[in-house]
């Protein structure tokens, strides 16, 4: 007896389940909470810890590589949210301006693949943080 082929809806639902199961939780930069997406984590960091990474990127003129180093610096050195936020009032060189922070301190960190220069994501993050 031959097996029945999966219907489109069965294949679709198993695909969606597989995709949902593949989502890497995104830990907060400052506490033990984990979130479903990088955007949720960034919104949490802004709302709960007073550190707005997207605003820092804009204020300090950080490029993509500087954002990567900033995230890895926070994850590896564990500065307080106040110390990180305080860098907005300082000038370069910043504590994360070292090549050692190109190396991820968290494997497959969703914050390192976040599109920091995607205007739609920035607008969504700003709306999430405000609301």
pLDDT at 88 over 80: yes
Q: Which long-range contacts (CB under 8 A, 24 or more apart) does 53-57 make?
A: 53/29, 54/116, 54/122, 54/125, 54/126, 55/88, 56/84, 56/85, 56/87, 56/88, 57/116
pLDDT at 9 over 60: no
pLDDT tier, 17 (very low <50, low <70, confident <90, very high otherwise): very low
pLDDT tier, 15 (very low <50, low <70, confident <90, very high otherwise): very low
Write down the pTM of the prediction: 0.74
């Amino acid at each position: 007896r031959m097996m029945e082929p999966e219907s489109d809806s069965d294949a679709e639902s198993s695909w969606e389940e597989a995709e949902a199961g593949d989502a890497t939780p995104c830990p907060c930069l400052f506490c033990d909470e984990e979130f479903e997406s990088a955007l949720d984590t960034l919104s949490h960091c802004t709302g709960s810890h007073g550190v707005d990474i997207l605003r820092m990127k804009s204020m300090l003129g950080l490029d993509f590589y500087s954002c990567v180093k900033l995230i890895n610096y926070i994850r590896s050195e564990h500065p307080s949210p106040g110390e990180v936020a305080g860098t907005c009032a300082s000038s370069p060189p910043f504590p994360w301006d070292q090549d050692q922070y190109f190396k991820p301190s968290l494997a497959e960190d969703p914050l390192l693949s976040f599109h920091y220069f995607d205007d739609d994501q920035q607008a969504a993050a700003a709306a999430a943080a405000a609301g």
